[in-house]
Amino acid sequence: MINPLRFWTRAPQARRTLLFASATHVWSDLFFALYAPLLPLIKDDLDLTFTEVAMLKSLYAAASAVLQVPVGFMADRVGEFWLLVGGNLWVAVGLIGMALAPSFILLLAFTLLGGLGGGTQHPLASGIVSRAYDSRARATAVGTVNFAGDLGKMAAPAFALVVAVSYGWRGTMLVIGIGAIAFFLALMFIRRSVEIDRPEPVESKRADAYDGTDKPITGFKILSIVGFIDSAIRAAALTFVPFILEDRGMESTEIFIMLILLLAGGAFGKYLCGWFSERHGLISIVWVTKASAAIFLVATIYAPMVTMAPLMVLLGIGLNGTSSSLYATVASFVPQARRSRMYGFFYTTNEIGSFAAPLAFGRVADVFSIRASMALMGLLAATILPVSLALRGFLRPSPAWEEA
């Protein structure tokens, strides 16, 4: 009989780090994807407008961005393990509060408070994995972590399909919140076997080499702009795809199934593109994924309903495939000891896009229509293509600090 704990402790350190980061990412992305399938139910239950629906999604994203930069600095003192476990426990408690909130105002308040804990996951998990693997395997490793997150996203509509149909959106949040608390409390017992090294101070020679040129910083800024647009498109689409499907006549159960397909495509796209970018480069990945996303977003308005299932899979690949390549590329501009911090900055700019886009497109849907909002999303997706070309002069072979 296989002993899971023995298997865990005998695994190489890099693999244990990858497994730990992936497990926490499954739960974290489940937390933050849960709103998407439940929003139509919440809208009907609380009689909300599209703008109010967008406020919930945007506030959740904004709250998760607040602590992303500070946790990169806190990791030096507290340690990444406790921040990752504690942050996810925080979100789980927030979900229970959301489930019990009797009004829109209180739901907003618990959304804000619960979302704050989400700031620990992405910068710290990406930071520890990028330190655990060298440049040859980093994109695949980061892609694996992001693929794990998409398994959590896929689980969100699956839980909604099973639980929300019988017990509503409140019951779904309550079950996931309680289950997550049990998981992360149990995770504390593997602390010694994980042994995540804290970032070491940058040697002065390498720090000077990095700070002596503006090229990496400029490249990082352009990459952050690309990440901002990518996150804005994805957040807006995940918020309003359920409503365009509802507008076209689908019932709740059908919508949940379409969202599972959408997020399954996203999971496949992230993993595939993380592997692909090592061979074909970031810009090629951006153009393939975002050009297809632009086309398929508009297609949700006009495509025959019989084609909607494969369309959701392809749209998911286009929406999510870009991000693995972007996350892995951050390490090309940042020395190892600064990665948790700089990933924090990168994810914060991404979350600003995730905050602003649902509000803007929700307002368009209220003033014009949900179909006009989807068409505008397709246009925004196309704008990332020329912006990404500005990175061509900054992408280069791995610098010396990556091989050390």
Cα separation, 148 vs 140, whole angstroms = 12
Q: Name the band, by pLDDT with cuts 50, 70 and 90, for residue 399.
A: very low
Question: CB of 283 within 8 A of CB of 389?
Answer: yes
- Per-residue pLDDT band at 337 (split at 50, 70, 90): low
Dump pLDDT digits (tens) for 274-291: 667 667 778 888 898 999
pLDDT of residue 310: 95
All structural domains of the chain, each given as residue ranges with its CATH number in brackets, are 11-194+209-395 (1.20.1250.20)
Reported as a single tens digit per residue, the pLDDT across 4-42 is 445 444 446 677 888 888 899 999 989 988 888 898 899
Structure tokens at 243: 């409503």
Task: Give the single-character DSSP code of 197.
Answer: P
Averaged pLDDT for residues 188-192:
75
Beta carbons of 394 and 281 less than 8 angstroms apart: no
Per-residue pLDDT at 207 exceeds 50:
no
> Which residues does 321 contact at the CB level (< 8 Å), separation at least 6?
266, 269, 270, 272, 273, 285, 288, 289
Predicted confidence (pLDDT) at residue 154 exceeds the cutoff of 90: no
Of the candidate ranges 17-31, 65-79, 360-374, 377-391, the one whose mean pLDDT is the lowest: 65-79
Cα separations (Å) of 175 from 34, 84, 160, 162, 213? 12, 21, 11, 11, 51
Q: What is the mean pLDDT of residues 153-165?
A: 85
Where does the pLDDT of residue 403 fall: very low under 50, low under 70, confident under 90, or very high at 90 and above?
very low
- Distance, in Å, from the CA atom of 156 to the CA atom of 148, rounded to the nearest integer, reads 13
Determine the Cα–Cα distance for residues 174 and 169; give it in Å rounded to an integer: 9
Q: What percent of the chain has pLDDT over 90?
A: 36
Contacts of 287 (CB under 8 A, 6+ apart): 385, 388
Q: How much is the average pLDDT of 323-330? A: 76
Angle, CA 125 vertex, CA 121 and CA 129 arms, to 5°? 175
> In terms of DSSP H, where are the helices of 281-338?
282-302, 308-333
Closest CA relative to residue 104, chosen from 54, 64, 161, 62 = 54
Q: What are the distances in angstroms from CA 391 to CA 149, 168, 251, 286, 398?
A: 27, 46, 43, 11, 15
The confidence score (pLDDT) of residue 98 equals 95
Higher pLDDT, 265 or 66: 265
Q: Cα–Cα distance between 394 and 126 in angstroms, integer? A: 21
Q: What angle do CA 49, 381, 68 make, to 5 degrees?
A: 75
Q: Are 402 and 134 in contact (CB under 8 A)?
A: yes
Half-sphere exposure of 295 (CA within 13 A, CB side): 10
Question: Residue 299 and residue 307: Cα distance in Å, rounded?
Answer: 10
Q: Could you read off the pLDDT of 312-322 as tens digits, one per residue?
A: 999 999 998 88
Mean pLDDT of 212-237: 82
Quick one: average pLDDT of 196-222?
56
Q: Is the pLDDT of residue 267 over 50?
A: yes
| pLDDT value at 386 more than 60 | yes
Q: What is the mean pLDDT of residues 207-234?
A: 74
Q: What pLDDT, on a 0 to 100 scale, did the predictor assign at position 92? A: 95
Q: Are 288 and 337 in contact (CB under 8 A)?
A: no
pLDDT band of residue 1 (cuts 50, 70, 90) is very low
Q: What is the pLDDT of residue 119?
A: 80
Neighbours of 46 (CB within 10 A): 16
163 has a pLDDT exceeding 70 = yes
**Residue 305 · residue 256 · CB < 8 Å:** no
How much is the mean pLDDT over the chain? 81
Cβ distance 218 to 394 under 8 Å? yes
